[in-house]
Amino acid sequence: MKNILNWSAALLALIVVSAPLQAADQIPGIGPVSKPVKVFTDFKFTEGPAFDLKGNLYFTDIPDNKIYKVDTKGKLSVFLEPSNHCNGLMLDGSGKLLACEMDGRLVSINLKNKKVKPLAAEYKGKRFNAPNDLVVDRTGGIYFTDPHFRAPEPLPQGKVAVYYRSADGKVTRLIDDLKAPNGVILSPDEKTLYVIPSMQKEMWAYPVTAPGKIGKGRVFCTLKQAEGYKEPGSGGDGLTIDTNGNLYITTGLGLQVYSPEGKLLGIIEVPEKPANVTFGGKDNSSLFITARTSLYRIDTKAKGHRFPGKSS
């Protein structure tokens, strides 16, 4: 893989070569304060960016069946191969890497010895379709999506869904009436669960009444559509959230940024169609975006929310 810029060089490049952003490009309180910088490229399809507390970045290349690591010095290396086609990643409270294997499992990976521990491999005696994205709550419970992308046919579960794996290992199906539940995240106070479908323009929010228990869903926002898209429209993919509860949803138009009230604040454009995004870097104020063949960095005024999690 081609290392375009390491972390330090990337920051310098933003100062030296990036043209100043115009006021019209800015989202109040968010920015961005830089244009996109391509950090690494020559991948097949990047996904699942996640930072650990030491500042190391992990991300996946689904078709290449690998998890990559970028250390604090900007060195890229293969962390795990094969990865069972891992997609979404997130760190839990103990520093283990939680991962959605599209080959059918939710797992935990020890960062020191790379030992993989299955957390959920089936529901009602059948394997999952292809776990896609996840978020861990304060109790160590994990919400994760299980759509049809890369799943066997017929679907092992017979339907696509959103699940919750509690800290004691119990798995519950929470949502099964969305076409293609993809991205998933909690609000900073963990009182709202956001689910981002990929085959409709309406994004959904659910009140969290207790860990792993949700109330009736509502349409949180309707994504802005690219010209030419017809009903039911194009949905989102992955997402991240800042400390103010603003959501950054990856779409065909770039990162669509929405307030906690569901108001579109603006769109941050990315050179390639983004699949997922996370905050990281100094002060947790840079967006690291996995977009098809590349990894991009965009600095912002906002700071990403860190999910405290708990060991699973």
What is the pLDDT, as a whole number, of residue 89? 98
How does pLDDT run across 254-278, given as a tens digit for each residue? 999 999 999 999 999 999 999 999 9
User: Which range, of 51-55, 167-171, 288-292, averages the lowest pLDDT?
Assistant: 51-55
Percent of the chain whose pLDDT exceeds 70: 91
How does pLDDT run across 117-145, given as a tens digit for each residue? 999 999 999 999 999 999 999 999 999 99
Q: How far apart are CA 289 and CA 84, in angstroms?
A: 22
What is the pLDDT, as a whole number, of residue 19? 46
How does pLDDT run across 236-246, given as a tens digit for each residue? 999 999 999 99
Class of domain 32-299 (CATH, top level): mainly beta
Q: How far apart are CA 204 and CA 106, in angstroms?
A: 23
Nearest to residue 189, comparing CAs of 174, 204, 207, 175? 207
> Is the pLDDT assigned to residue 30 strictly greater than 70?
yes
Nearest to residue 288, comparing CAs of 69, 23, 22? 69
How does pLDDT run across 100-120, given as a tens digit for each residue? 999 999 999 999 999 999 999
Token pair of 78 as six digits: 């293969």
Query: What pTM, to 2 d.p., does this model score?
Result: 0.93
The full DSSP string for 286-301 is EEEEEETTEEEEEE-S
> Is the pLDDT assigned to residue 10 strictly greater than 50?
no
What is the pLDDT, as a whole number, of residue 22? 56
Q: How far apart are CA 278 and CA 304, in angstroms?
A: 8
> Is the pLDDT assigned to residue 12 strictly greater than 60?
no
The residues spanned by each domain of the chain are 32-299
What is the pLDDT, as a whole number, of residue 311? 62
Nearest to residue 132, comparing CAs of 118, 149, 117? 149
